[in-house]
Chains A and B, each alone.
Chain A
Amino acid sequence: MKANESPALQGRVVEDEVQLTLLELCQASGAPRERIMTWVSEGMLEPVGDRPPDWRFTGVSLRRTRLACRLEQDLELNPPGVALALDLMDEIMALRAELRRSGFR
């Protein structure tokens, strides 16, 4: 199929411009609601708002949630295992960024 002649699609940058409700995060990540609630209670996702209907997740949560889903399914990890893996991966990313700043690729 060829690209339409219509003007280019305009997207929104999720991380900068979008906040997600619990329902939207479920839909966008494919994760079941109960699973996201577990991950919130593990401190792995930190929405603002007191009760689940008021929760608002930052756009960054989407990437984290999708990564968590893949790790859980593919490596058969339990919630604390997923949380540990994500923390360690954050640390590796920070160390790699530090290396890049110092001139290593």
Chain B
Amino acid sequence: MKYKDYYEILGVPRTATEAEIKGAYRKLARKYHPDVSKESDAEARFKEIGEAYQVLKEPDKRAAYDNMGTQWQGGQDFQPPPNWDAGFEFNGRGGNAGDFSDFFESMFGAQAGGARGRSRRPMHAQGEDHHAKVMIDLEDAYRGASRNVTLRMPMTDASGRVTTQERTLSVNIPKGVREGQHLRLSGQGSPGVGQGQPGDLYLEIAFRPHRLFRVDERDVYVDVPLAPWEAALGATVDVPTPDGSVQLTIPPNTSAGRKLRLKGKGLPSNPAGDLYVVVGIALPPADTPEAREAYAAMQLAFHFNPRAGF
């Protein structure tokens, strides 16, 4: 187990006041909040910051933590000294059990993290609803698919320890589902208490990033490069869609950046989305005498000034 330097994590000195700790926490929490942050390690950082704040904001936990002494370095192997917590009493509040480091749990116990509001459960109650995210491919949303979804759930066992239990469900991904939508699976949440009904499981749909396609709600975008003569003279080209390739007629004098709409070729729905082909123009390199000659001939033929508008 590694020692965690909670002061270092929040970037405050050991002498920091409660107000300084709160200020440092809030600033870092805004920066690394997974719903807001674009940092790649946001989620891990955010958990670490939250854990540090859980300990340092409460005078009794902070005192117990300080009581272990200052000789430890963050990341150093660590065993709590005997009786380090004698005379301290912790009240659990906030946070989710299972979200804390081994270090935190060995010091304050998984319970200190606090499963929220479970102490006064009635005799019969509906089980809790659960949420999880599932990644699918855009193609799955076009055709519908059956996917195995593995869920990890923190469970409290008979002796009060938090363990992680895995279960795998086979789930039908309905055709036309969009990013950010939720699938509700009735009765797949926590079991009910007494005669209560089990809770539901909500799966939030996310698409894996696609090499070719961008998705905006029901509409799908694909960049298609054209040769200059295809764009100028018109052509019929094969264009990929998530449902296989289609032939698209390019009208003469198509300029770069123009969007050509394939109606109804976006995500299936009622009404279906559209597929937009965003045209790009790729220049062949002038790397042979013939190619250079061809460009020079164009120059003579066109008297074209692309900067005439300046």
Within 8 A of A (CB), among B153-172: 166-172
A15: which B residues are within 8 A, CB to CB?
178, 180-182
With a cutoff of 8 Å between Cβ atoms, the chain A residues found around residue B143 in the complex are: none
At the interface, yes or no: B30 with Cβ under 8 Å from chain A?
Answer: yes
Answer yes or no: A52 CB below 8 A from chain B CBs: no
Shortest C-beta distance, B48 to chain A (Å), equals 13
Contact status A11-B36, CB under 8 Å: no
Q: How far is the CB of B185 from chain A (nearest CB, A)?
A: 5
Given A62-B202, A97-B216, A9 and B172 contact (CB-CB distance below 8 Å):
yes
A16 and B200 CA atoms in complex are apart in Å by 17
- Total interface residues on A, CB under 8 Å, equals 37
Minimum CB–CB distance for A100 against chain B, Å? 5
Given contacts A9-B171, A12-B184, A75-B26, contact A103 B33 (CB under 8 A): no
Partner of A30, one of B46, B129, B174: B129
B188, CB-defined interface residue at 8 Å: yes
User: 1/0 per position for A1-39, CB-CB distance to B under 8 A?
Assistant: 111101111111111101000000001101000000000
Contact residues in B for A6 (Cβ distance below 8 Å): 170
Give Cα distance in the complex from A85 to B284, angstroms: 48
Mark B residues whose CB is within 8 Å of A.
Answer: 26, 29-30, 33, 35-36, 46, 50, 94, 116, 126, 128-129, 131, 146, 148, 166-172, 174, 177-178, 180-185, 188, 199-200, 202-204, 214-217, 219, 221, 223, 257, 276, 278
Q: Lowest 4 CB-CB distances: which A-B pairs, in order?
A: A11-B183, A14-B182, A8-B170, A8-B146
Interface residues of chain A, those whose CB is within 8 Å of chain B, are 1-4, 6-16, 18, 27-28, 30, 59, 62-63, 66-67, 70-71, 73-76, 85, 89, 97, 100-101, 103, 105
Knowing that A3-B170, A9-B169 touch, tell me 16 more A-B residue pairs with CB under 8 angstroms: A1-B166, A4-B170, A9-B188, A11-B174, A15-B181, A27-B129, A28-B200, A30-B116, A30-B129, A66-B131, A71-B33, A71-B35, A74-B29, A75-B29, A89-B35, A103-B257
